[in-house]
Chains A and B, each alone.
Chain A
Amino acid sequence: MSMTPVEIPIIPKIRKNAILTFLSRGTRVDERSFDSPREINIKTDLIPNANGSSYVELGKTKVLAGIKVEPGTPFPDTPQEGNLIVSVEFLPHASPVFEPGPPDERAVELARIIDRSLRDVRAIDLSKMVITPGRKVWNIFIDIYVVDYDGNMIDASSIATMLALLTAKIPKVSTTETGEIIISEEKSENIPVKKKVVTATIAKITDENTGNKYYIADPSLEEEMIADTLVTIAFSEDGLITGMQKSGLSSIHSDDIPKILNMSRKLAEKYLAKINEYITLKTSTTPSI
């Protein structure tokens, strides 16, 4: 059963007022503009035993994503496709309010948002992830670890997922003359990422005293704590909307939707630029074998 969060981390009233005062002056406590994300730091290939891994810092939010690719059986309704399985774990390390145990509703929701953002737009060409058609396919397990929580886990997870997918290596599959299928020991193939996709989250903060509404990109934890609603929109690099989710205790006025959509699109472009910059730099500096 889903319940109104009761373990709300307490934000001092003076801090809340400070955040609102900054917003009323058109800026934010950390000196960002309303549409700017925090600084993004990226590392990949940190986990030798994983097929792909990435570590993303979005401000002080830290997310580690690991990909394992293993042979499995296809689902009956998609016999010619590999499988994509996304899971999210909030490590107890990440926040005093995270407890060990099975994923809570927020972790389930987050995993499903990431999954949906990738699936229908066919960000990964799952038809290329087949070993023996109808019998054996690759299972792509994406496991997202939230390591330190300072707001906006969704976008940090989405960026980490994309980077882990783009840098993952999987074994080469070949068929011998006798028709035998050989999965090589060496991991030399890429996961067929056809389109890069990222989510972009906008928070709505309402000043109860003035009634003013503020929309801000990539909320930090303290901004999230006083925000009443979040809207996450996923975009593919060719500009399509590939997913959407409103969350939080309040609502969004119909007239504000275009503003949110424009802000999130620009935010997504910034995330994608960062991902592209990292991948370009990595491929240009990695010595060829």
Chain B
Amino acid sequence: MGILKPGIKLFTDEGLRIDGRRPDQLRPIKIEVGVLKNADGSAYVEYGNTKILAAVYGPRDPGARHILLPNRATLRCRYHMAPFSTHERKSPAPSRREIELSKVIREALEPAVIVEAFPRTVIDIFIEVLNADGGTRTAGVTAASLALADAGIPMRDLVAGVAVGKVQGILVLDENEQEDMYGEADLPVAAMPTLREITLLQLNGVLTEEEFYKALELAWQGINQIYKLQKEALKKRYAGAEEEE
């Protein structure tokens, strides 16, 4: 998180954000489930200009027996950014950031998947960032949990994620890349909303305790809204399938 460059204004005089949102407002969110033919489950998610494609294969036989567990399924997860997803081309080789985020996202999904139902199998989760504009890990979790549901894998709850930023002293929901870059803190959160269980929690930046609790509350507001949209997208895919075209 950089120091604010002079001349960069992240709020209008009316207190709106550079993209016209109020501090507690999400970006326009688009969710589509079952977008790929071959994957067992898939989902496409947009948080504004952050665009994510998630696919799930499994439960399946990985070929390599040594990674199987006798009492549960093994989860594998890849978070990856497309070379064209960033302002400057990103090398397709996995960066340290992508290695960490693959782990953090896997651990955000592990608590939701009923892995005990599929011993000696592997479930592969692939998250591809097609365009990055902030909040890619949380949008990735949102997309991946839908892809798991689309694959028919039993889950305790969906997982919905969103980030809260602190920008020029103001807490903002679902920050975009500019706000993240010039902000003072970034708090990505993902949770199983019905169970009120937090499955991903990270903080990059500095917050007081009071700010942290307020930011977490704001994250919950966003998560609950996204959760609603997730369920609508699943219903549209399954309950309303015949009505379409």
A and B associate in one complex: yes
The chain A residues found within 8 Å of chain B, CB to CB, are 1-4, 6, 77-78, 105-106, 108-109, 111-112, 116, 120-121, 231, 233, 236, 239-255, 257-258, 261, 265
The chain B residues found within 8 Å of chain A, CB to CB, are 1-2, 66-69, 72-78, 96-97, 99-100, 102-107, 110-111, 115, 124, 184-185, 187, 191-192, 195-209, 212-213, 216, 220
A251 to B199, CA, bound (A): 5
A4 interface neighbour in B69, B97, B195, B200, Cβ under 8 Å: B69
User: Given the interface contacts A6-B67, A240-B207, A241-B209, does A253 sit within 8 Å of B202 by beta carbon?
Assistant: no
Indicate if the CB atoms of B76 and A3 lie closer than 8 Å. yes
Q: Output the least CB separation between B234 and chain A (Å).
A: 21
Indicate if the CB atoms of B74 and A4 lie closer than 8 Å. yes
Q: Which residues of B contact A233 (CB under 8 A)?
A: 203
Most central of B67, B99, B196 by chain A CB within 10 Å: B99
Indicate if the CB atoms of B204 and A243 lie closer than 8 Å. yes
Most central of B124, B198, B213 by chain A CB within 10 Å: B198
Q: Chain A at the B interface: mostly helix, strand, loop or mixed?
A: mixed
Q: Which residues of A contact B103 (CB under 8 A)?
A: 2, 105-106, 109, 247
Q: Chain B at the A interface: mostly helix, strand, loop or mixed?
A: mixed
B78 interface neighbour in A1, A247, A265, Cβ under 8 Å: A1
A3 interface neighbour in B75, B105, B198, B200, Cβ under 8 Å: B75
Residue in A closest to B1 when the chains form the complex, CB atoms:
A120
A233 to B195, CA, bound (A): 23
Q: Output the least CB separation between B52 and chain A (Å).
A: 17
Indicate if the CB atoms of B204 and A252 lie closer than 8 Å. no
Indicate if the CB atoms of B206 and A121 lie closer than 8 Å. yes
A20 to B32, CA, bound (A): 44
